[in-house]
Structure 1
Amino acid sequence: MRNIYKILVAIILSFSLFACSDELLDKQPLDKFSEASVWQDLNLAEVYVNNQYKVLPKLGWYEWIRSYQLSCFTDEATHKYGYHSIYDYWGGIMGPSIPTGIDVWRYHYEFIKGCNEFLQKIDTYIPEDDEEEAIKDRLTGEIYALRAWSYMDLAARYGGVVLITEPFGLNDDFLRTRSTFDQTVELVISDLDNAIQRLPLSYPDDSNWGRITKGAAMAMKSRMLLYAASPLFNPTNDITKWEQAAAAAKAVIDLDLYEMEGDFKQMFLTNKNREIILSRGNDAVNNDGLFDYFEVAEGLGGGIDGNDYNGGWSSTMVGQALVDDFEWDDGTMFDWENPAHAADPYGIGENGQVDGNGDPLRKRDPRFYASITFDGSPWISDSLVQFWICEESNNYNLNPFDPSFTLSYTVYGRNSIGNPKRWGVAETGYSYRKSMDPYYNLDKEQFPRSIPWIIIRYAEILLNYAEASFEAGDPDVAIHWINQVRARVDMPPISGSGDELREIIRHERRVELCLEGHHFYDARRWMIAHETFNKPLVGVRIVKDKFSDTKVYNLFEYEQRSWPEKYYLQPIPQYELEKVTLQQNPGY
């Protein structure tokens, strides 16, 4: 891709040369270009398209709610500081006037408007040669894919929505109604098919890294069709929808462009690898680097004395339900009733214990260690996270943050609730780790780290194919691809049939894609959220014996939660209902 921003700056500077001329009032403003100029300059049209990419989620400031912090609206995690109106959500009072931080209605329609504007106006540009024709066609494909992304996310959250495919004029009829969910899916697939026809499989160099490719559009199609085939949106279990979803995922596999990275943990820390199908980069200059400060636990990563970022905020605190879902490395499930499990729940033995090869002992699914920070996690130069405390109270099962609970701390781990600087500690006993580099020193590096948010990766496509194939009646295909995903982290192969295999497939998706925002959609489309979300979020308090290294792991209810069944679809926000008459979703 040509360096559009340099070109844009050059154009602006060229205008400034005429600032003292008599024709100043006839010149275009320096901070913007006329509408006509955008559509008569392919460079400016590309800048316009680049701006539309902001609709995609990333790790940046206040954009976390559209990426990993969607996990806080599931049983995976909670938010320490109550951002995104999360207390209203878990209080069961989300509604049209309290849409909470997960409301994206206005957000997506603003980008849809921009996409529609492009699709209407770009045809006024007459390419000078075949190269410009190809660029114009590619930009059009990107816009179709970006509009599809918005409608896909709207459909997955609200069901059928208002379909707008052209810019509104002053004399247009604004009285639109909601289309059905199936009609919304049809538009998404149509847009993606248009994109697939226009987009390249790849780019010859890294200058276009992050742009939507043919494979990315095909992967979006796989996700949309999987959602459409699921119980929430396919109550009659139309098998043809599962077959369509399976075919879409298989088409991505057959491209033979992608593969799973060998190192699961490192895959999230590199900007480019063959597992990434679509990602959005972080801007380390414009506060996106704050991601590390917000998520690292208190006392980790260095810290800057004298400000609010002293060692981390532990914003996304993981719950026990997710921790317990990671198997042991032999494929057995974790069980607190098993004394051996309860004595060493993280499979690390005594601190510093090694296995027969001299490597640190790790007896749980390797994805656990790459996804969650826990007591005993390594962090920077082989130091270990310390979430334990020593205390003199025997009220082990009380929530330590209940006002009636008092402790007399004598010794405490530096990252624990016993720390006098406990403002930033992980109160559930666990914090977010995926996409975080334990060797990144916040004190030394401060804000420069730039890492991508992976929006779609190859493992998701394999899991899509496995699930859709099973539901379409081909369990052998499902087993094969589930085992491919597990083999990457040396987990033993699975087998099964019927409902048991369905649960295995869903379980594998949960642990592989945990804390990436997927479970927010998956638990609802499977229609299990009213059972799995409608219970307290549990944490752990680790009490260490004063005179030995023996630890006792005490579970407690950290956060009470209510998840009414109307939450399967989000409410149409009141600000929209006041403008037009739309049918509200059930229960609101």
Structure 2
Amino acid sequence: MKKSILILICAFAMLLSCKKSLLDSPPEILVPEKLIFTEINYVTEFVNDIYGATLQSGFSATSSTTFIETATDDAKHNNLSAEVQRFGTGAWSADNNPDNLWNYYYTGIRKCNKFFEQIGQVNTVDHGAPIIINNITAEVQKQRLIGEVYFLRAYFYAELIKRYGGVPLLTKTINVGEDANTPRASYDDGVKLILKDCDSAFNRLPVDYTASNVQNYYGRATKWSAQALKARVLLYAASPLNNPSNDASKWEAAAAAALPFANGTAPFSLTAISNNMANYEANFRGNPYANKEMIWVQNESNQNYLELRNYAVGFDREVGE
């Protein structure tokens, strides 16, 4: 017994004498950064993470699935203590803004810039042969991912200039010790960068993902996602708020960008509604991948928070119907 205890004490002492503690060992689940941008699968996961910043916006004014419309005179939130009520009561400020998404979007932008700086390292060939994953070459996936990240950066900047006007335009990462005092660019400069990124995305992204396992790609940007974002940004740029001189060329540019969605070039259309709402309801209860009204969507789990927090008081919103 004494011998066993002595062996245990010696073993424990040897562990303590090691220069590196066992607790300092990184979990095997962590992938070194230099490896992430060499393998196409890891790069794909990195891009998936960038999409997370888009979930902070959409139709919501806050992370509580509150319709931003309830901050206007057009709608009213049924919860008097909801954050969005601050807009109506005047209780919001720069330090207390329910729609403050500055940090989320610049976090996403930094990840986009990191991607562009490192994507050249990804391996697309192994021993002279193209790397193929799920019947798609790594080079094709690489170009598609580049298109997605161009779209995402354009989206983040579009949301920022919509809220703040001109903002600092960062196209490279800023590391610790570097000067982070980037001057604020003009609104028009922001529009130019967004349009450039949208065009870069349009040239690389597919029309859709029907040739692939659609469910695995649902929610990813497509060629028409980029074109729709471009049309929206140009429309806002032409509006009186940003075009006080009413420059007609800005309206013409917005119309030209939106034309594919009006003349049938883009594969989208509104659902025909007959004498009842059955067709419209089926449009959202059926297979979402076949919904021709949706240009770009965000995936959500099966829940009823939106109805619970936004439907009229007394409506049977508890069951999400």
Task: Calculate the TM-score normalised by the size of structure 2.
Answer: 0.78
Change (3 A) 1:220 1:140: same
How much has 1:279 moved relative to structure 2?
A: 0.5
User: In structure 2, do the counterparts of structure 1 residues 62 and 184 end up closer, same or farther at CA, with 3 Å as the change threshold?
Assistant: closer
Q: Residue deviations 1:316-335, cap 9 Å, x none?
A: xxxxxxxxxxxxxxxxxxxx
Deviates more, 1:36-45 or 1:190-199: 36-45
Note if 1:290 corresponds to 2:305: yes
Structure 1: unaligned runs, 5 residues or longer: 1-23, 302-310, 313-435, 439-588
1:261 counterpart = 2:271? yes
How many residue pairs align between the two structures? Answer: 278
Match for residue 63 of structure 2?
63
Candidates 232, 235, 259, aligned match of 2:244: 235
Aligned to 1:208: 217
Q: Note the aligned Cα RMSD (angstroms).
A: 2.8
1:148-547 superposed matches below 5 A = 148-203=154-209, 204=211, 205-206=213-214, 207-253=216-262, 254-262=264-272, 263-270=279-286, 271-272=288-289, 273-284=291-302, 288-295=303-310, 301=316, 312=318, 438=321
Query: After the TM superposition, which residues 554-573 of structure 1 pair with which residues of structure 2 at under 5 Å, given as runs?
Result: none
Going from structure 1 to structure 2, the CA distance change for 1:132 and 1:75 (only over 3 Å counts) comes to same
Label 1:250 to 1:60 Cα distance change in 2 as closer, same or farther (>3 A). Answer: closer
Match of 2:16 in 1: none
* Counterpart AA for 1:192: C
Superposed displacement of residue 161, structure 1: 0.6
Q: Give the 3 Å change call, closer, same or farther, for CA 289–27 of structure 1 in structure 2.
A: farther
Deviations 1:465-506 (A, max 9, x none): xxxxxxxxxxxxxxxxxxxxxxxxxxxxxxxxxxxxxxxxxx
Letter in 2 for 1:123: G
Higher strand share: 1
Higher relative contact order (CA 8 A, sep 6+): 1
Identity of aligned residues (%): 31
Task: Show CA shifts across 1:225-248 (max 9, x none).
Answer: 001000000000010000100000
User: Which secondary structure state, in structure 1, belongs to the residue aligned with residue 76 of structure 2?
Assistant: strand
Work out the CA distance in 1 between the residues paired with 2:60 and 2:28.
28
Alignment match, 1:120: 117
1:427-446 C-alpha deviation (Å, 9 max, x unpaired): xxxxxxxxx963xxxxxxxx
Q: Deviations over 1:103-151 (max 9, x none)?
A: 1111211111111111111111131227111101101110110111110
Residue 106 of structure 1: aligned partner: 103
Contact 1:185–1:224 (CA under 8 A) maintained in structure 2: yes
Superposed CA deviations along residues 213-269 of structure 1, whole A, max 9, x for unmatched, are 001110110111001000000000010000100000013445241111123444344
Q: Residue 260 of structure 2 contacts residue 266 of structure 2 at CA under 8 Å; is this kept in 1?
A: no
> Could you list the per-position Cα deviations for residues 305-358 of structure 1 after superposition, in whole angstroms to 9, with x for gaps in the alignment?
xxxxxx63xxxxxxxxxxxxxxxxxxxxxxxxxxxxxxxxxxxxxxxxxxxxxx
The 2-side partners of 1:243 and 1:294 are apart by 39
Alignment match, 1:38: 36
Partner of 2:6: none
Which secondary structure state, in structure 2, belongs to the residue aligned with residue 282 of structure 1? coil
Q: Distance in 1 between matches of 2:140 and 2:24?
A: 34
Amino acid at match of 1:106: N
- Shift of residue 297, structure 1, vs aligned partner: 5.2
Partners of 2:218 and 2:247 in 1: CA distance:
38
In 1, Cα distance between equivalents of 2:157 and 2:81:
25
SS at match of 1:79: coil
Check the 8 A contact 2:161/2:167 in 1, yes or no. Answer: yes
CA contact (8 A) 1:192 1:218 kept: yes
Task: Please tell me whether the aligned partners of residues 161 and 187 of structure 2 are also in contact (alpha carbons under 8 angstroms).
Answer: yes
* 8 A Cα contact 1:61 1:290, kept in partner: no
Equivalent position amino acid for 1:74 in 2: T
Task: Report how far residue 175 of structure 1 moved.
Answer: 1.2
Q: Output the TM-score relative to the length of structure 1.
A: 0.44
